[in-house]
Amino acid sequence: MRILLMGNPNVGKSAVFSRLTGANVIVSNYAGTTVEFTKGSVKIAGQHIELVDVPGTYTLEPTNKAEQIAVEMLEACKNDDIVVNIVDATNLERNLNLTLQLLQKQVRIIVALNFWDETKHKGITINLEKLEDILKVPCVPTCAVTGQGVKDLVERIKEAKPSSFKYDEQEKWHEIGNIVDKVQTITHRHHTFLEVLADASVKPLTGLPIAIVSLFLSFKLIQLIGEGLKGYVFEPVFKNLWSPLMLKLSFLLSSRGLIHDLIIGHLVEGQIDYGQSFGLLTTGLFVPLGIVLPYVFAFYVVLSFLEDFGYLPRLAIMADTLMHRLGLHGLAIIPMLLGLGCNVPGVLSTRILETRRERFIAVTILAIGVPCAALQAMIVGLVGKHGIVNLGIVYGTLLVVWFVLGVLLNWIIKERSPEIFIEIPPYRIPYLGSLSKKIYMRIKWFIREAVPFVLLGVLLVNVLYTLGIIQAVGKIAAPVITRILGLPREAVGALIIGFLRKDVAVGMLIPLGLTTKQLIIASVVLTMYFPCVATFTTLVKELGFVDMLKSAGIMLLSSLIVGGLLNLILA
């Protein structure tokens, strides 16, 4: 027996899934958060049952890939399987279209009317008994984000049954209209502040300033939280608590030798220098936890809030015209924003785009021009010291590259790009519980993914240097590195390690004592030249090997051109 959660996009299927299984899935306030089905297990009456979070669909006659998956999963239903049809209670008419189609399939169904709490604010009253009478399946009110009603849903899940409700397919919408008339009453009410704000966010005269202000505030907030945490919490902890411990350990290891250099690294004037020591327990921990984590945390606090509030699809509307220049439409702004945190979820979310061509353009410019939070934290730390203007040059260059490359790809790969088509959810005040859970999940994911790779990177740096490999490759690559990019030949080490972790790679630049100009070029080239291994494997999975090769060719070529140009232009 299995339980399938099915419903329109953005009705809270993932929220119900997360409530039922306790599993960690990302829940946001826009359509298409779940691009692949997720499986989990739920315990009902002492029995473990498989639960599947199916991608949202408006209809069982699929109009895109996600809907196709949903339909195939329904077709594979066995007799004792149960479909929990999650319905947006504030949009009964639109949602009943899918419900009626599901009832036709003669599978066991129970309906959950989600966003039940919101119906009250919207002046909507739904008569549940009448609805159950008509549909002839159980109907349960829920508010999945807060968890209200979910217990009732679990208790009544066994009551799910095939419905004997019949209707004429030709008269479907007429039938739906009849049902809605019978069960729902709407009382008039005034626009709420959130609704007024929602409308203002999508009108050009007010929407553009809102977009600019909210993006600016987001960056300021990320900077404030990130710098604050780093300066007042993480750095003091490393300096005052961790350093003394490491010095003791260094003493115990008699301050030298292979093991000592691997674990502690080189002492600078008898002290730990987290930028230069390059030991596993010093630089290896300081980079991911001391520098990167504060910014990753800050980024996800802000992004998660914007997601849950419902701003991203509105930003997509405002960005649509711009994105069409790149052969994409407005929704492509969402993968780009996610990519600013980590390129992997960014690449995965390009599945909300319809065609292969769009996805190729989107992932290529994402991997080249969108630095992840870890890389940004290091760049901000290193280049920021040399003045905000120089940091501006790095970001400005990447933005220009991102845009120009998109325009070029759009021009080279000639094909009409599809137009935007997305339901825009209402603004919702994020529920603190689910918001903090999402941030916690993302941080946990970051630590689990980043720390081992950073440690591996630091280990590899030591091994490659000891074996003289970096020096040898440096000699071969010297003409490119020194002549075209104007960097010292040792910088090749950063390019090698950058494939593993780009934050470690930037860290490797610190001991080289680069000039400001070299730092700018190195930061830009490191961002552009090739994706890190985590993004690389995701790209191969998403694009296939051949397209990945094409994409990688574009990356290498454009980073050489841009790095070379910067070397010529910058004084």
Partner 1 sequence: MSGMNENKQRAGFTGRRMSLARMRAGQRGKIVRMSSSYGIVRKLEALGIRQGEEIKKISEQWMRGPVLLQHGNSQVAIGFGMASKVLVEITGEEQQ
Tokens found for residue 548? 């990945």
Among 189, 421, 436, 475, binds partner 1 (CB under 8 A): 421
Stretch that binds partner 1, among 412-420, 491-499, 525-533, 555-563 (CB under 8 A): 412-420
Parallel, antiparallel, or unpaired for β 47-53 and 139-141?
Answer: unpaired
- Residue 317 as a binder of partner 1 (CB under 8 A): the answer is yes
**Six-digit token string for 163:** 């419905």
The correct pick among 83, 318, 326, 554 for binding partner 1 (CB under 8 A) is 318
Give least dist CB 305 to partner 1, A: 21
Sign of CA dihedral 304, 307, 312, 314: negative
Q: Which of 422, 548, 562, 566 binds partner 1 (CB under 8 A)?
A: 422
Rounded least distance, CB 186 to partner 1, Å: 9
Write the DSSP symbol of residue 119.
H
Among 185, 192, 321, 515, binds partner 1 (CB under 8 A): 321
Q: Which element (helix H / strand E) includes 140? A: strand 139-141
Distant-in-sequence, close-in-space partners of 124: CB < 8 Å, separation ≥ 6: 89, 90, 92, 184, 185, 186
91 touches partner 1 (CB under 8 A): yes
Beta-bridge partner residues of 161: 109
Q: Rounded to an integer, what distance in angstroms lies between the CA atom of residue 455 and that of residue 450?
A: 9
Q: Is 117 in the site for partner 1 (CB under 8 A)?
A: no
Contact positions with partner 1 (CB under 8 A) in 71-90: 90
Q: Looking at 423, 490, 542, 547, which residue binds partner 1 (CB under 8 A)?
A: 423
Question: Which member of 133, 159, 181, 199 binds partner 1 (CB under 8 A)?
Answer: 199
| 61 is an interface residue for partner 1 by CB under 8 A | yes
231 secondary structure, DSSP code? I
State which of residues 3, 6, 54, 58 lies at the interface with partner 1 (CB under 8 A): 58
Listed in sequence order, the residues at least 6 apart from 2 whose beta carbon sits closer than 8 Å to its beta carbon are 49, 50, 51, 52, 77, 78, 81, 82
Least Cα distance to 66 among 58, 74, 75, 57 occurs for: 57
Nearer to partner 1, 85 or 91 (CB): 91
329: contact with partner 1 by CB under 8 A: yes
Is 56 a binding residue for partner 1 by CB under 8 A? The answer is: no
Strand partners, 124: 186
As a whole number of angstroms, the distance between CA 508 and CA 178 comes to: 68
Q: Does 204 bind partner 1 (CB under 8 A)?
A: yes
Which residues, in sequence order, are CB contacts of 475 under 8 Å at separation 6+? 489
Question: Residue 208: how many CB atoms within 10 A of its CB?
Answer: 12
Please report whether residue 311 would count as binding partner 1 according to CB under 8 A.
Answer: no
Asked if residues 142 and 149 have their Cβ atoms less than 8 Å apart, the reply is yes
Cβ-based nearer residue to partner 1, 35 or 202: 202
The Cβ-side half-sphere exposure at 256, using a 13 Å CA radius, reads 1
The three state secondary structure string of 149-168 is CHHHHHHHHHHCECCCCCCC
316 vs 562, which CB is nearer to partner 1? 316
The most distant pair of C-alpha atoms in the chain lies apart, rounded to whole Å, by: 85
The residues, any chain, with a CB within 8 Å of residue 302's CB and separated by 6 or more, are 218, 221, 222, 225
Considering only the stretches 56-64, 221-229, 448-456, 472-480, report the one whose residues sit in contact with partner 1 under the rule CB under 8 A.
56-64
**Is 333 one of the binding residues for partner 1 (CB under 8 A)?**
no
One residue of 424, 456, 560, 565 binding partner 1 per CB under 8 A: 424
For partner 1, the binding residue among 36, 39, 43, 63 (CB under 8 A) is 63
Among 32, 55, 330, 339, binds partner 1 (CB under 8 A): 330
- For residues 478-497, which are near partner 1 according to CB under 8 A? none
The nearest distance, CB 50 to partner 1, in angstroms, is: 28
Options 151, 189, 203, 356; binder of partner 1; rule CB under 8 A: 203
Residues that bind partner 1 (CB under 8 A): 58-59, 61, 63, 90-91, 93-94, 97, 122, 124, 173, 176, 199, 202-204, 207, 313, 316-318, 320-321, 329-330, 418-424, 426
